[in-house]
Amino acid sequence: MVRYILKRLIIMIPIIVGITLIVFAILNYTPGDAATLILGFDATEASLDALRAKLKLDDPFMVRYVRYLVGLLKGDLGISWRHNTPVAAELMNRIPNTLGLAAYAVTVMLILGIPMGIISAVRQYSLLDHTTLFIALLMTSIPTFWLALMMMLKFSLELGILPATMPTSAAITWKHWVLPTFMCSANLTASTVRTTRSNMLEVIRSDYIRTAKSKGAGQFRVIMYHALRNALMPVVTIVGINFNVLMGGAVITEQVFNISGVGNLLISSVRTKDAPMAMGCIIFIATVIGIVNLLVDLLYVFINPRLKSMYVRNNAAKEES
Amino acid sequence: MYDKLLEINNLHVNYKTADDVVYAVNGLNLSVRKGETLGLVGETGSGKTTVALSILKLLPEKIGFISNGRIWFESVDITKTSEKEMRRVRGEQISMIFQDPMTSLNPTIRVGEQIAENLLLHKKDMTKKQISDRVDEILRLVGLTKEKKNDFPHQLSGGMKQRVVIALALACEPKLLLADEPTTALDVTIQAQVLSMMHKLKEKLDTSMILITHDLGVVANNCDRVAIMYAGQIIEEGNIRDIFTAKHHHPYTLGLFGSIPDMSKKTRRLAPIDGMMPDPTNLPDGCHFWPRCTDRMDVCKMCEPNPCYKDTHMIKCHLYKDLYNERGKDYIVGKDE
Amino acid sequence: MSRKTLSIISLSLIILMMFVTACSSNQTAAPPQDGSSNEQGQETNNNDSKEETVKRTDLVFGIPQDPQFLTAGRSNGQIPNIMQTQLYNNLLRTNPDGSYSPELAKNWEVSDDNLTYTFYLRDDVLFHDGSKMTSKDVAFSFDYHAGKLADYPSGTQARSFLNFYEETEIIDEYTVKIHYSKVYGPTLSCLSDIILGILPEDAFLSTGQDEFEKHPIGTGPYKFISKVPGETIKMQANEDYFDGIPSIKDLTFSIRLDTDAAVIALQTGELDFVTNIATSYKNTIDSDSNLKWFMTDSPGQGWVIFNTGINTDKVGSKYFSDVRLRQAVAYAVDKEDINIASTDGYGKIINSPIPNTFAGYTDVPDYYTRDLNKAEELLIDAGYPNGFSVNLRCITTPTYYKPAETLIGQLAEIGINATLEVLESGAYWTSIMTNYDYDIAIGNYTATTPDADIPLMQHYYTDATLRYTNHSIKELDDLLDKARSELDKSKREEAYAKAVEVILKDNCLVVPLYQFVVTGAGNANLQNVNASPYVDWKISDWSW
């Protein structure tokens, strides 16, 4: 198992390096001179040259990329071109909010999406099922930012029960997180409901559920003990696959709700061509997605005995002997 | 005489789908005596499994309905029993062995736990230790070592899985065992092992059994009585001698026998029954078998034949109206005592 | 089946209604809670009952983008202007009528040869760090901006407002003489530009530019407190301000990339003011009795620009190197429609590349009143009777693509099939200022010094920094040189009128379209808020 985790972590390294190369190339080869963008369009040639020399922009692409990688290996994400502050420090300020938002969204997804999916499947074709499916369809098809604005209009402006955006000076309370969390998880929750429902429907029609019923197990026991675990296996994968969607959603959500997060930072860095900052944000997001996928795979191994026995057999054998 | 353990009278079961009504069981009469093994034989789609599911009231929810008839188990009418009551019957009084051992076990639960669940649900007074011991004992009975209880189903072979399924069904020593093609999914060598093991267990535990199969060979070796099913009805019924040695048979039964290679006779080829099972959403009038029957008469197309009896042998066919005692539809076998 | 369908339909209707009520709510909903919400923190919440007696002293001000630098002069633009207005002062300032008022200077004299300006400084001005503002700070600031310091040879963006600047001579602690090498008409106007703020020499040199940027110090009404890049900039009232202590004490600038969300935040009271909102939000703001809309004419202009290639080594557009085709476009343009599309009609139609409030401006006729027949004649004359296809370049910002979209339809009327090419800003600027690989584009510019010299020199002089139209016209250069060194008002105006004639009538380098508006929206309880053409919201004058 440990070897497997190590292997996966090692595989992540070339992936992240690959991502840095692609992003570095995109930032480098898209039109617009970084020095001009930083200094403005009426900057003198002299000042532009000075800045280019300072940032070593005149070196060949690969030289700069390798230099960046070497810095990265030393844990140095560089200095923001625009803000002249260490990228790592700026990132650290924002990571808690982004991870917090993602964690809240995943939590909502799990505690709302899975039960709704189960109920929907158990009460298939009931009004409840239709309602749930309809809302889920709505949530998957409505663009996040639009829904966010509608929610703001409804809950912040009309009802006045939730703040629309993050506070600028006061402390952030749970109320501030309600709308962003809802927004961020709407899409994911909807797809979780749909996946849980369809898996559950498939599972409760399977032979082993009939076997369970033939033993005299009640509905609740059949669903919770026999069906759920089997139905959840694909849902776990969905979480992993959709985590990048969630991170993408977080970028939009952070912008709309003015959350001090990595997504917001990424948008403004890309806009201002602040390459080191944008790179830092992307490396962070890629790493998080990689780690989450690894965790999901591990979780999958643990809830799927077939895979578990593949990886844990040696240990089990040792224990028994 | 044996006591009757199960008595099915005039059972009708329908499956309602979005567009059609499937008439799966159409006025079926059947009884099982204590300690007896009844073979329920028929082609795929004749309604055998539906009968078994009806007995357990496990017809697919919102799709399958018992539209008419009674199922007496001991002195209780199962069709009128509440779901809560049924839960106590299932697993403890009546158990079922399903057709495909590969899919009948929950892939995420250790087999020991799956067997123990039966005891857990029905033998509330048993301690953990007792349950665990009992699981070991049952596993031994079905020929598995007790270490297997810690395995997941995917770690077992097909035959082992079926042994687990059987162990699971027998855990509470039920009065009636419904075995739905228990060996179809197994290799022939394993089939024989499993069947003989089931036979022994049945004898040992004094369990009655309905053995659902399409394999007449299996029936010959394991059953006391045989009922042959066609389009949701029993068309011939009798003890093993009646079916295998009597002179008269329902044309369908003859067809079934014709489909088995008989090594003692020199025939060029098998004689399969022509045609297909009738569309269950649209059954033919009269005898449901007439479109395929080689001996069909005009009357067959008009009226449904009544069961005709000769001792223990029953044939539901117009051909035997005179040779056998014909009894009306309202004649109820179990109620004349 | 039918019941299922019915229930789905009724459900969707319910949900739709929910959203419709949500949408219409901004007109009908109850006012937000007394203009204060949880955002203002515990303090105001506790004081809710005493709201009438205790005035708020804080303000959250929404800005659409992050000003890159806070050091005076380092960033030029509307948002940096807002920051510099709060943090710094100039020697003098321009009044709306074009006259000058003292600021850091009590009064000033101009030498007879118009090359030396003597400023007598106030002696009661303190920098935010407590040090006194004296002559050496003024000398340092101008030298720094102009790039005369050895350590900062490129100066700041304020450099272009110090044309012909030689040196600052320190006469005594509170008197300076600013020497120019040539007579420059708009000198005082330039010195009053927001971007030419006075910086503290000691504080700046002790830390250097990069460190100073992290904690900028000026003499302005607000002190810098903290900055979270891309999010907030916090300032606090300067209790030693020489021109009256501001009523708003705690000032927070909140960067809001999403305008829709910013407007909602304004309505819920989470923001007190938002600047630079598109005119399309005016109705929303007007219909909310708690909010007020502020708008005034901006000197910013939108034009159609051509890659002319007149007398330059970079080849001009295949089509628009020909003046007849440029004129054909000019005749085809309907400025009215474009103004409506871009500013909802709040902007003003213009005929001159000089903003009408600027010194040197005179009314010029519309040389190309819309006339499709003339346009078509010119096309035939130039050899394109059936028109041609070009790409029309613009940026993703509405002030660029909105006029562009309308223009495409107008060009189609004379057979020019233009395709919209929306570029990322970096790519756009490279294309129209460096590579000159475009045919026709939409250009925008906002000058902050109210003198014709600034916009014309920046766009039309040979080798000008923002010479979008890729031309070099000797006659025009001479006129501009003459005008900037001329001090007589009417002679200057005459020279500029002639220059405009060369730009438009003779060469049709650009087609001036419309003048922008400066917009802002804020809490209706805010007092003394005035929109200024240069977006320099003077928050120190505001109060609750």
Model pLDDT for residues C220-249, shown as the tens digit of each residue:
999 999 988 888 899 999 988 988 889 898
Question: Phi then psi for B257, rounded to 5 degrees?
Answer: -65, -35
C465 inside 8 A of chain A by CB: yes
pLDDT of residue C43: 39
B96 inside 8 A of chain A by CB: yes
Lookup: tokens for C187: 């000198």
**A4 — pLDDT class (breaks 50, 70, 90):** confident
The whole-angstrom separation of Cα A192 and Cα A112 is 9
Judged by CB atoms closer than 8 Å, whether chains meet at A210 and B58 is answered as: yes
Helix boundaries (H) for C40-118: 41-46, 78-87
Q: Report yes or no: B232 and B47 within 8 Å, Cβ to Cβ.
A: yes
Q: For A156, which DSSP code?
A: I
Inter-residue long-range contacts of A8-12, CB under 8 Å, 24+ positions, other chains counted = A8/A294, A8/A297, A9/A294, A12/A287, A12/A290, A12/A291, A12/A294
Model pLDDT for residues A252-296, shown as the tens digit of each residue:
888 888 888 888 888 888 877 788 888 899 888 888 888 888 888
- In sequence order, the 6+-apart residues with CB closer than 8 A to the CB of C53 are none
* 3-state helix vs strand vs coil in chain B, percent to 5: 35, 25, 40
Q: What is the mean pLDDT of residues C166-170?
A: 88
pLDDT of residue C12: 58
- In sequence order, the 6+-apart residues with CB closer than 8 A to the CB of C282 are C293, C295, C344, C346, C519
Q: What is the mean pLDDT of residues C408-424?
A: 88
- In sequence order, the 6+-apart residues with CB closer than 8 A to the CB of C365 are C351
pLDDT of residue B336: 37
Model pLDDT for residues C125-139, shown as the tens digit of each residue:
899 998 999 999 999
Judged by CB atoms closer than 8 Å, whether chains meet at A216 and B122 is answered as: yes
pLDDT cut 90: percent of chain C above it: 17
Indicate whether A112 pLDDT > 90.
Answer: no
Sign of the torsion angle spanned by Cα atoms C70, C71, C77, C78: positive
Q: Pick from A26, A46, A24, A48: which is nearest to A38 by CA? A: A48
Check residues A45 and B288 and name the one with the higher pLDDT: B288
Among the partner residues B58, B106, B121, nearest to A208 by beta-carbon distance: B106
Judged by CB atoms closer than 8 Å, whether chains meet at C22 and A154 is answered as: yes
Check residues C470 and A34 and name the one with the higher pLDDT: C470
pLDDT of residue C1: 45
Indicate whether A150 pLDDT > 50.
Answer: yes
**C345 — pLDDT class (breaks 50, 70, 90):** confident
Model pLDDT for residues B189-220, shown as the tens digit of each residue:
778 888 888 888 888 888 888 999 888 888 88
The whole-angstrom separation of Cα C457 and Cα C480 is 7
The whole-angstrom separation of Cα C511 and Cα C275 is 28
Q: What structural domains and CATH numbers belong to chain C?
A: 89-213 (3.90.76.10), 299-516 (3.10.105.10)
Average model confidence (pLDDT) for chain A? 81
pLDDT of residue C120: 92
Lookup: tokens for C105: 């200077």
Chains that contact C by 3+ CB pairs under 8 Å?
A
Lookup: tokens for C291: 């909010």
Indicate whether C37 pLDDT > 60.
Answer: no
Indicate whether A297 pLDDT > 90.
Answer: no
Judged by CB atoms closer than 8 Å, whether chains meet at A160 and C33 is answered as: yes
pLDDT of residue C273: 93
The whole-angstrom separation of Cα A232 and Cα C447 is 62
The whole-angstrom separation of Cα B335 and Cα B323 is 25
Helix (H, G, I), strand (E, B) or coil at B37: strand
Helix (H, G, I), strand (E, B) or coil at C444: strand
Judged by CB atoms closer than 8 Å, whether chains meet at C160 and A256 is answered as: no
CA angle centred on B36, ends B330 and A217, rounded to 5°: 90
- In sequence order, the 6+-apart residues with CB closer than 8 A to the CB of C370 are C331, C332, C333, C334, C335
pLDDT cut 90: percent of chain A above it: 0
Computed on alpha carbons and rounded to an integer, the radius of gyration of chain A in Å comes to: 24
Judged by CB atoms closer than 8 Å, whether chains meet at A32 and C8 is answered as: no
Question: Phi then psi for C37, rounded to 5 degrees?
Answer: -140, -175
pLDDT of residue B333: 45
Average model confidence (pLDDT) for chain C? 84
Taking contacts as CB-CB distances below 8 angstroms, the residues of chain C near A256 are 258, 260-261
Indicate whether C14 pLDDT > 80.
Answer: no
What angle separates helix B158-170 from helix B111-122, to the nearest 10 degrees?
10
Indicate whether C526 pLDDT > 70.
Answer: yes
Helix (H, G, I), strand (E, B) or coil at C394: strand
**C408 — pLDDT class (breaks 50, 70, 90):** very high
Q: Pick from C212, C65, C208: which is nearest to C149 by CA? A: C208
**Range B274-283 burial, b when 16+ CB lie within 10 A, else e:** eeebbebeee
Residue from B85, B106, B168 to probe the interface with A (highest A Cβ count within 10 Å): B106
Among the partner residues C26, C258, C271, nearest to A153 by beta-carbon distance: C26
Backbone dihedral region of C477: left (phi > 0), alpha (psi from -120 to 50 degrees) or beta? alpha
The whole-angstrom separation of Cα A54 and Cα B327 is 108
- How far is Cα of residue B280 from the mean position of the Cα atoms in its chain? 19
pLDDT of residue B337: 32
Taking contacts as CB-CB distances below 8 angstroms, the residues of chain A near B88 are 216
Judged by CB atoms closer than 8 Å, whether chains meet at C154 and A44 is answered as: yes
Check residues C392 and A55 and name the one with the higher pLDDT: C392
Q: Give pLDDT tens digits along chain B (337 positions).
A: 447 888 888 889 988 888 888 888 888 888 888 888 899 988 888 888 888 888 888 888 778 888 888 888 888 888 888 888 888 888 888 988 888 888 888 888 888 888 888 888 888 888 888 888 888 888 888 888 888 888 888 888 888 888 888 888 888 888 888 888 887 777 777 788 888 888 888 888 888 889 998 888 888 888 889 999 888 888 888 888 888 887 788 888 888 877 666 666 665 565 667 777 788 888 888 888 888 888 888 888 888 888 888 878 888 888 887 777 766 544 444 433 3
Model pLDDT for residues C439-460, shown as the tens digit of each residue:
999 988 888 788 888 888 888 9
For residue A206, give how far its alpha carbon lies from the nearest alpha carbon of chain B (Å).
8
Indicate whether C80 pLDDT > 50.
Answer: yes
Among the listed ranges A27-31, A142-146, C324-328, which one has the minimum average pLDDT value? A27-31
pLDDT of residue B268: 58
- In sequence order, the 6+-apart residues with CB closer than 8 A to the CB of A179 are A148, A151, A152, A155, A156, A162, A164, A257
User: Hey, which of A4-18, B116-130, C184-198, C325-339 has the most confident mean pLDDT?
Assistant: C325-339
The whole-angstrom separation of Cα C140 and Cα C152 is 12
Q: Pick from C355, C511, C520: which is nearest to C446 by CA? A: C355
Indicate whether C371 pLDDT > 60.
Answer: yes
Indicate whether C39 pLDDT > 60.
Answer: no
pLDDT of residue B331: 44
Q: Report yes or no: C59 and C250 within 8 Å, Cβ to Cβ.
A: yes
Q: Pick from C394, C311, C302: which is nearest to C353 by CA? A: C302
Which residue's structure tokens are 């959603």? Answer: A249
pLDDT of residue A74: 85
Indicate whether C13 pLDDT > 80.
Answer: no
Taking contacts as CB-CB distances below 8 angstroms, the residues of chain A near C76 are 40, 42
Model pLDDT for residues B259-295, shown as the tens digit of each residue:
666 666 665 565 667 777 788 888 888 888 888 888 8
Taking contacts as CB-CB distances below 8 angstroms, the residues of chain A near B56 are 214
Which residue's structure tokens are 């709309």? Answer: A256
The ipTM value here is 0.80
**C87 — pLDDT class (breaks 50, 70, 90):** very high
pLDDT of residue A316: 45
**C19 — pLDDT class (breaks 50, 70, 90):** low
Report the run of H or E that residue B309 belongs to, with start and end. Answer: strand B307-310
Among the partner residues B98, B117, B155, nearest to A217 by beta-carbon distance: B117
Instruction: Please report the DSSP string for B51-88 in residue order.
Output: HHHHHHT-SPTTTEEEEEEEEEETTEEGGG--HHHHHH
Lookup: tokens for A128: 């409840």
Taking contacts as CB-CB distances below 8 angstroms, the residues of chain A near C29 are 157-158
Judged by CB atoms closer than 8 Å, whether chains meet at B108 and A216 is answered as: no
C431 inside 8 A of chain A by CB: yes
